[in-house]
């Protein structure tokens, strides 16, 4: 049985986020014009200042077969490190 979506989940900040829900939250809060879970994962793997993981200030928590992060430190990171990527590709790829 599927539980109907609670409208508060679209307006309130959750206590934890996954890579996917974190990406959605960044867009909803205007911290990124677009973001995917892969984008968040790429940042987490490449930035030495990423706050989550072993030997980092905050752990990843295992919840229902997903790694979750505390929302406060997640948002703090993106407020201190604004998204400056090129964004989505706007031009069609040329024939090769």
pLDDT tens by residue, 20-54: 999 999 999 999 999 999 999 999 999 999 999 99
Residue 2 located in a structural domain: no
Which residues, including other chains, have CB under 8 Å from residue 80's CB and lie 6 or more apart? none
Span 47-68, mean pLDDT?
A: 95
12, part of any domain:
no
Four-CA torsion 4, 8, 52, 20, nearest 10 degrees: 50
Burial class of residue 17, CB neighbours in 10 A (0-12, 13-18, 19+): buried
The verdict on residue 90 lying in a domain is: no
User: Considering its fold, how many domains does the chain have in total?
Assistant: 1
Position 18 scores a pLDDT of: 97
Does residue 81 register a pLDDT over 70?
Answer: yes
Q: Which structural domain range is residue 28 located in?
A: 18-80
């Amino acid at each position: 049985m599927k539980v109907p979506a609670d409208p508060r989940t679209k307006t309130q900040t959750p206590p934890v986020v996954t890579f996917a829900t974190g990406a959605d939250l960044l867009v909803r809060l205007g911290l990124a014009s677009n973001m995917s879970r892969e984008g968040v994962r790429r940042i987490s793997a490449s930035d030495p200042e990423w706050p989550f993981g072993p030997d980092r200030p905050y752990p990843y928590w295992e919840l229902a077969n997903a790694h979750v992060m505390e929302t406060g430190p997640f948002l703090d990171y993106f407020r201190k490190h604004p998204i400056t990527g090129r964004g989505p590709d706007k031009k069609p790829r040329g024939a090769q």
